[in-house]
Structure 1
């Protein structure tokens, strides 16, 4: 690969990486909120809402993320509305990843000793107060490593959003390959950039797990 091609390719890919990072952050926030709500409904909601949350979880965990993205992006236009490709990507990834995140949160909630609830009741806290002040902070510590692992999966899933035309890292790589060829070199650069984002997070998870084992 020539120096000039490397320079111009990196400029395009870094611009795509910015789109990937923005999409990832927005989807992480959305997926975490959706997942937490679904986990709470499954754990504490009345039968009807609990069943709806369970159906949501099973539905999206049992279908490909591309189907979710296609349904949101093209399905909205079918009903006479328009949705921005970035918004479609955020909604699609948030809804899809939220189903997996809800199971992580639910496992964390169930891992908190039931005695914590009893102590909270003795202290006069309502169930809502006990959840937000006692249970949720402990749940956060329990679920943080698997949650970061799921975020890594989400970051890599952003590459699929190129299928609906969003200009992110993979889309930028495809555009360069279509113009100049050299797929091995270009996709190699794309892989390096994904690695640069994901590797520090994976190392943090590994370090956190090792520290927990030693403690």
Structure 2
């Protein structure tokens, strides 16, 4: 008789959750670096660079992450590049996250009020100095809430890494279910773990959004 969900199974799920966190961090750091370069390129003075990056972003955003993972894991070995499941999942998520964060951050850079750009030009600063000393510090403030909010999507999208054999939280649950056939209990626990990972980030994102809101504060007239 097949036994119920036990402590060993929960330990295995906890290990899968740890790998989910590791993969999420890899995706965020790698995708963040790529996204930062994309955002800067998308607002550069080079029309060729802007268009090339726009094509890249549209291509990635128009392609399912699942397909990107298949191409990375099965396509690279076809040209002689052997990759592990972790490398394939990390590279795929980096490509995916980079495109989305690049667009988020581009929009935040361009949303900095135009008088700020003009004031920086009046100070006779170079384009690089204007960007890093005047524009980016303000754009970071605007970009923080949506960036934190997107971290939730990164965590949830790591579940797709199971298709290339990477054992994260969802894959751990699948392996356990194949042995004890208790899908309701297993996936209920998995859902709870994902919720525990994502909900605090969602709360943080909403808190940051209220904190950096540019809406004017109401004033109360005193008679």
- Please give the TM-score of this superposition, normalised by the length of structure 1: 0.93
Counterpart contact for 2:5–2:186, Cα < 8 Å: no
The verdict on how the C-alpha distance between 1:198 and 1:214 changes in structure 2, with shifts beyond 3 A counting, is farther
The Cα shift of 1:4 comes to 7.3
Secondary structure at 1:44 match in 2:
coil
Counterpart in the other structure of 2:140: 140
Residues 1-215 of structure 1: pairs in structure 2 closer than 5 A: 5-211=5-211, 212=213, 215=217
Give deviations 1:23-50, integer Å, cap 9, x for gaps: 0001001111111211211111412211
Secondary structure at 2:80 match in 1:
coil
The Cα shift of 1:134 comes to 1.5
The Cα shift of 1:184 comes to 0.6
Counterpart contact for 2:4–2:182, Cα < 8 Å: no
- Distance in 1 between the 2:146 and 2:102 partners? 12
- Please give the TM-score of this superposition, normalised by the length of structure 2: 0.90
- Distance in 2 between the 1:155 and 1:206 partners? 17
- Distance in 1 between the 2:83 and 2:29 partners? 20
The Cα shift of 1:172 comes to 0.5
- Distance in 1 between the 2:207 and 2:50 partners? 36
Counterpart contact for 2:105–2:143, Cα < 8 Å: yes
- Distance in 2 between the 1:59 and 1:45 partners? 22
The Cα shift of 1:194 comes to 0.7
5+ residue gaps in structure 2? 218-223
| Residues 115-124 or 199-208, more deviating | 115-124
The verdict on how the C-alpha distance between 1:39 and 1:81 changes in structure 2, with shifts beyond 3 A counting, is same
The Cα shift of 1:58 comes to 0.4
Counterpart contact for 2:34–2:94, Cα < 8 Å: yes
- Comparing both structures, which one devotes a greater share of its residues to helix? 1
The Cα shift of 1:12 comes to 0.1
The Cα shift of 1:137 comes to 1.4
Give deviations 1:109-158, integer Å, cap 9, x for gaps: 11111222232233332111221122111111101111112111011000
Root mean square deviation, CA, Å:
1.8
- Distance in 2 between the 1:117 and 1:206 partners? 28
- Distance in 2 between the 1:76 and 1:108 partners? 34
5+ residue gaps in structure 1? none
Give deviations 1:158-201, integer Å, cap 9, x for gaps: 00000100011111100000011100100111111111110000
Secondary structure at 2:18 match in 1:
helix
